[in-house]
């Protein structure tokens, strides 16, 4: 067997491990092993690559490659090990961005490398797509990171003529691509690089904080596609398989997320949601309707007499760092024979599935985490729906108020439960800035204060009873 065939076989093995890893994610039981299998497959591919011939030579600059890898490892490992779980979206954004950046660099360098041999038009097209998509992903992820890390405002950034400017830049990029296809000019490639960067930035700026879960999924898909494009250019099936898998996953998650918000993808990307809403919401409803508030002790008694409690956590819980106390409360209730479930809305948190990770970190067993549909059927027979740090995801306006900006979003039907308890910091509306009628519902009790404090008091009170 020739050396090249052996290496290709090893690549085939790696590609298979990637598929196995994704299959493993079908259940929490096998997921970790799957991830390790993929990591091993990746290692095999990298080691095999060291033995590959490029243009008839063995790999040059091996020490330089090892040095670059060493630098990458000493930055990546501590970052990945010590990042807080609440900061996971930022981290995924940044790792995604560097992947896109690498794909873009690979495509570009390959173009410089092969240009002298007058490559076919489709090869140049692959390069240009790789550069365009990879760079947009890099720049977009950087802005998404800045928004999530609160280095800049999480609100949509808008300015007059925004749509027009974005459109012009987009058209300019396409024109440039066509020109480079015809002229095969390297200097124009640099212009495309800069233009793609600008496009990535202005594309993400108007997308508001609440829509970031959709955005991250989409950027993930972009990087996957950029890697697949590089795979076409380099003639590597491994890169094509891996890139396409990620592209498929990203696109699927993007669709799921927009569906979970009841909005179309183009609406999420191009409507600058948050800014419009804050202008229209919260003004009309201040008509002096009264709410009922209670103390943590009242709620503890209510919970003590229940037989079935559904907890609806939102990102506010994580902000207050209340997950551990919440789990303590849930376990305490369970020890009294009360059934406790967690109802997780798909967009709870800052990225798809984020709330599940935050609860898993607090040692909540995954059997207790219910998806939205399951949760809604449990809620019909629940005595108490305990809403902690969530707001928009339980807002009935999404069902019955066609004028509401969140109309059409599937929600968790907290209002089906016998009693609804909200733990809230204040009467301020949620992330999307929309008033919630459920707060004024006669079966609703509000407990004001920091979620962690309130939960701690509730734990003490339940213990005392």
Q: Say how many residues touch other proteins, by CB under 8 A.
A: 117
> Among 217, 391, 395, 419, which residue sits at the site for other proteins (rule: CB under 8 A)?
217
Residue 396, classified by CB atoms within 10 Å of its CB into exposed (0-12), middle (13-18) or buried (19+), is middle
What 3 state SS string does 180-247 have? HHHHCCHHHHHHHHHHHHHHHHHHHCCCCHHHHHHHHHHHHHHHHHHHHHHHHHHCCHHHHHHHHHHH
193 scored as a contact of other proteins (CB under 8 A): no
Task: Kindly tell me which of 249 and 295 has the beta carbon lying closer to other proteins.
Answer: 249
- Kindly state the smallest distance separating residue 282's Cβ from other proteins, in Å: 31
Q: CB nearer to other proteins: give 337 or 402.
A: 337
Helix, strand, coil shares, percent, the chain, to 5: 65, 5, 25
Stretch that binds other proteins, among 95-103, 263-271, 316-324, 428-436 (CB under 8 A): 95-103
* Near other proteins by CB under 8 A: residue from 27, 121, 280, 381: 27
Q: Which of 80, 168, 279, 460 binds other proteins (CB under 8 A)?
A: 80
Residue 18's Cβ-count burial label (10 Å; 0-12, 13-18, 19+) is buried
Residues 6+ apart with CB under 8 A from 429: 281, 282, 391, 435, 436
Residue range at the interface with other proteins (CB under 8 A); choices 11-19, 195-203, 282-290, 386-394? 11-19
- Closest by alpha carbon to 297, among 459, 140, 452, 138? 459
Active site residue 383: no
User: Which residues ranging from 248 to 287 are in contact with other proteins (CB under 8 A)?
Assistant: 248-250, 252-253, 256
Q: How far is the CB of 24 from other proteins (least distance, A)?
A: 9
Instruction: Label residues 418-442 b or e (16+ Cβ within 10 Å = b).
Output: ebbbbbbeeeebbbbbbbbbbbebe
Cβ-based nearer residue to other proteins, 80 or 194? 80
**Smallest separation (angstroms) from other proteins to the CB of 60:** 5
Q: Which of residues 319-338 bind other proteins (CB under 8 A)?
A: 335-337
| Tally of CB atoms within 10 A around 234 | 17
Active-site residue (options: 211, 286, 383, 392): 392
**Which residue lies nearer to other proteins by CB, 195 or 343?**
343
| Residues in 355-384 at the binding interface with other proteins, rule: CB under 8 A | 356-357, 360-361, 363, 365-369, 371
Report the C-alpha gap between 333 and 451 in whole angstroms: 18
Q: Examine residue 62 and tell whether it contacts other proteins (CB under 8 A).
A: yes
Alpha carbon separation from 143 to 27, 149, 153, 199, 209 (Å, rounded): 33, 10, 10, 12, 11
Residue 35 found at the interface with other proteins (CB under 8 A): yes
CA nearest to 351, candidates 47, 97, 89, 51: 89
Cβ distance to other proteins smaller for residue 55 or 286: 55
Closest by CA position to 277, among listed 106, 429, 83, 64: 429
The one segment of 243-251, 401-409, 424-432, 443-451 that binds other proteins by CB under 8 A: 243-251
Whole-number minimum distance, CB 325 to other proteins, in Å? 17
Question: Residue 430 phi/psi, 5° resolution?
Answer: -75, -165
Q: Is 54 in the site for other proteins (CB under 8 A)?
A: yes
Residues 282 and 433 sit within 8 Å (Cβ to Cβ)? yes
Q: How far is the CB of 163 from other proteins (least distance, A)?
A: 29
Among 6, 73, 151, 171, indicate the residue that binds other proteins (CB under 8 A): 73
Closer by beta carbon to other proteins, 213 or else 316:
213
Q: CA-to-CA distance for 85 and 47, rounded, in angstroms?
A: 32
From the list 194-202, 273-281, 346-354, 423-431, the region that binds other proteins by CB under 8 A is: 346-354
- Residue number, 9 or 54, with CB nearest to other proteins: 54
Contact 370, 341 (CB under 8 A): yes
Q: How far is the CB of 418 from other proteins (least distance, A)?
A: 16
Stretch that binds other proteins, among 52-60, 158-166, 379-387, 451-459 (CB under 8 A): 52-60
Q: Any contact of residue 99 with other proteins (CB under 8 A)?
A: yes
Question: Cα dist. 65→110, 408, 449 in Å?
Answer: 17, 52, 54
Residues annotated as catalytic (active site), given as ranges? 392
């Amino acid at each position: 067997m020739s050396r090249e065939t052996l290496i290709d076989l090893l690549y085939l093995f790696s590609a298979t491990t990637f598929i196995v890893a994704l299959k493993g994610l079908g259940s929490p039981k096998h997921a970790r092993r799957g991830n390790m299998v993929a990591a091993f497959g990746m290692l095999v591919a990298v080691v095999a690559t060291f033995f590959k011939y490029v243009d008839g030579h063995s790999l040059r600059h091996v020490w330089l490659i090892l040095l670059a890898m060493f630098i990458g490892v000493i930055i990546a490992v501590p970052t990945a090990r010590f990042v807080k779980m609440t900061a996971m979206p930022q981290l995924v954004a940044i790792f995604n961005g560097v992947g896109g950046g690498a794909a873009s660099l690979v495509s570009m360098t390959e173009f410089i490398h092969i240009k002298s041999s007058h490559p076919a038009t489709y090869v140049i097209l692959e390069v240009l797509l790789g550069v365009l998509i990879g760079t947009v992903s890099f720049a977009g992820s950087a802005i998404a990171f800045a928004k999530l890390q609160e280095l800049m405002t999480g609100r949509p950034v808008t300015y007059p003529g925004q749509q027009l400017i974005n459109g012009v830049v987009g058209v300019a990029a396409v024109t440039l691509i066509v020109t480079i296809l015809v002229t095969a000019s390297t200097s124009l490639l640099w212009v495309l690089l800069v233009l793609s960067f600008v496009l990535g930035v202005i594309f993400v700026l108007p997308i508001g904080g609440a829509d970031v879960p959709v955005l991250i999924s989409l950027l993930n898909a972009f990087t996957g596609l950029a890697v697949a494009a590089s795979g076409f250019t380099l003639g590597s099936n491994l890169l094509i398989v891996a890139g396409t898998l990620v592209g498929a996953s990203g696109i699927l998650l993007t669709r799921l997320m927009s569906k979970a918000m009841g909005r179309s993808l183009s609406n999420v990307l191009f409507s600058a949601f948050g800014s419009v809403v804050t202008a229209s919401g919260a003004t009309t409803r201040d008509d002096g309707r009264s709410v009922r508030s209670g103390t943590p002790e009242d709620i503890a008694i209510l919970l003590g007499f229940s037989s079935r409690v559904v907890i609806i956590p939102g990102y506010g819980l994580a902000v207050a760092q209340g997950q551990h106390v919440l789990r303590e409360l849930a376990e305490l209730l369970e020890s009294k024979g009360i059934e406790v479930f967690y109802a997780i809305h798909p967009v709870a948190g800052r990225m798809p599935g984020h709330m599940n990770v935050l609860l898993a970190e607090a040692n909540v067993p995954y059997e207790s985490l219910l998806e939205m549909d399951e949760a809604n059927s449990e809620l019909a027979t629940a005595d108490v729906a305990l809403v902690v740090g969530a707001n928009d995801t339980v807002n009935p306006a999404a069902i019955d108020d066609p004028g509401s900006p969140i109309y059409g979003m599937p929600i968790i039907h907290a209002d089906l439960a016998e009693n609804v308890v909200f733990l809230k910091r204040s009467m301020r509306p949620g992330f999307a800035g929309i008033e919630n009628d459920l707060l004024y519902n006669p079966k609703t009790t509000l407990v004001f204060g920091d979620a962690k404090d309130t939960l701690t008091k509730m734990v003490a009170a339940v213990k005392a009873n």
